[in-house]
Structure 1
């Protein structure tokens, strides 16, 4: 197997350089309309004013929201990802700011700040994750909401002595396939997500991304530090009940009105 490394990537784009951005909107998974439409419905219901998306990426959420007539801004660290937004329907009206969601400021007050698709975990320190909540709160108008979508840490599947959990094994049916697995350090709440893709001709790619996993109760404490309180928590965009068996959650914290 040969592994292709893209030497043209800009190191300032971190874990989402041009080589990743070019494939990010390929069909499948979280980029399909079937996955995005339920998110659109809930976000549009919560947004009774301007929206700010942290880690706006290629605009898969921001552009459809703007197409609904909402004023949408975004913060994105990767210029390669952000460069794709304008080409999407509605994307031309999204105001994009290149920067770090822990500290970058956007003018104005917002009714909703959102951070989706596990991206809070891309911030790999607890202090950094607290800074994300504080930055969200500083952008919200009184009564505004901060929404986060993130998976529940999968450490219940770890028996003693094991630190790795596979989350995807896909056979392409033509001699190729994809394997994804997470490796956890439960002492530090650090984990790495590894993605291995092999094509039918034997070529392939290998990508490893660091994360910090975070529990729902820990996120609630971060919100309290930032001056917000939990308003709602669901198991998904359909507002289904969050239980001990839920694999992810969509949580909403509100900034006080007074």
Structure 2
């Protein structure tokens, strides 16, 4: 009896799983290091060592010290809490705002949908980072304001995506059956349309987390992000840029590597989820 042919789509999906697993491992490792920072280093992120200013990596300061005598290793670890925390919170806010706008637009249709889409077109006509700079300058640089800023600039794409999914599902048989059963408009949207429209959101959200970290780093680099002396990767890179020119590479290199690895981790998660979804 001949052996059964292998299930090639299942094999392809299984080969994609390590991509997501590697990305998740990177992000979780960085986040765990940030949470465990008090146990991994005796230094506080803003503590000054008066005997070591701009010293390279050594036994006391594994990543060296910056121009203020602060331990770079401690600051990189504690910055992971802020960068990843703001990324997750801002993307979650963007999903909530985008859903709150896109769901009723796609359900209502007609002129309501047309007006809403034109407003979204106007918002997305602005360069994203320029819009982030403008909002951050107006709101200020506190942590809640940065979450709100990054969440607001990310919300329009989610609104368009949710709206497109709802439009595609609006006249499906199961929705019409639920409507004939007497379900209210809110019940149709929240219980029947929304759960079925969230799949692409869950795929794209990890990619946006990486982009959110880059946006925060960019804002901090130009002075509109986390205020000094709080530890944040973008601010550390900005402060250490001049040091690199003078040969003191460690002040900007280590936070840059942490930023690169974290964004890479989120991108790997998103890429794996996208490929897996495409093969279903």
| TM-score (norm. length: structure 2) | 0.22
Which structure has more relative contact order (CA 8 Å, sep 6+)? It is 2
Higher strand share: 1
Higher helix share: 2
| TM-score (norm. length: structure 1) | 0.23
Q: Which protein shows a greater Rg?
A: 2
